[in-house]
Amino acid sequence: MPYEYEKDGALIYAESFATIRAEANLARFDADEEPIAVRMIHAAGMVGLEEHIRFSPGFAQTTRTALESGAPIFCDARMVSEGVTRTRLPADNEVICTLHTDGIHGLAREMGNTRSAAALEFWRPKLEGALVAIGNAPTALFHLLNMLEAPDCPRPAAIIGCPVGFVGAHESKEALWAAQPVPCCIVEGRLGGSAITVAAINAIASRKE
């Protein structure tokens, strides 16, 4: 016998978001934050993720305003940059990942750091007022925080800091949350990753669900 399953894509989409809103504890999120949290939960397939999502005050509105003003989006990995839905971007925003830039291996060796961290050095010319999205590498988030310690470093509008993993992920996000050099969003602990980070970007980029 053939398997019976729902084949209407629009209905699947709508029912998924309705299920999240019925099951997740979203009460602490304001009207701007709630759609972002819902989409992040959807990407993770995990009701309960909301307990680990943190938005600093004004993050959602600051980030949306930046994108509407044409700010670029800097991503730590191709898995993040490729996941951004271009048709949702409000100002044909540039989506940039410099992880495979020529010379990156040599720069990483010179810095004594990972390629993910070294790639951020190529962000400086356009970093001012940008949205930064880190969904994979804790070393990238730590290096960004070190960069922003310098008073002459250009400052992004906001940071989505959701690296995933067992080494440095929790610590890098705790460091971002403690410092809050600009408005930010994190997922506490080891949780995070490209899909969750992209979901946050896409939710901010367009209010359309």
Whole-angstrom Cα distance, residue 69 to residue 51? 31
Distance from chain centroid for Cα 200: 6
Give me 95's structure tokens: 């989506």
Amino acid at 65: T
Amino acid at 191: L
Expressed in angstroms, the distance from the first to the final Cα of the chain is: 35
Phi first, then psi: give them for residue 149, nearest 5 degrees: -70, -25
What is the tally of helices (H) and strands (E) in the chain? 9, 6
42 catalytic? Reply is: yes
Whole-angstrom Cα distance, residue 83 to residue 101? 19
Among residues 42, 52, 143, 170, the one annotated as catalytic is: 42
Give me 146's structure tokens: 């070190």
Q: What angle do CA 171, 64, 140 make, to 5 degrees?
A: 25
- Helix ranges restricted to H, the chain: 9-23, 34-44, 59-68, 78-81, 104-111, 115-118, 138-149, 169-179, 194-205
Catalytic residues: 42
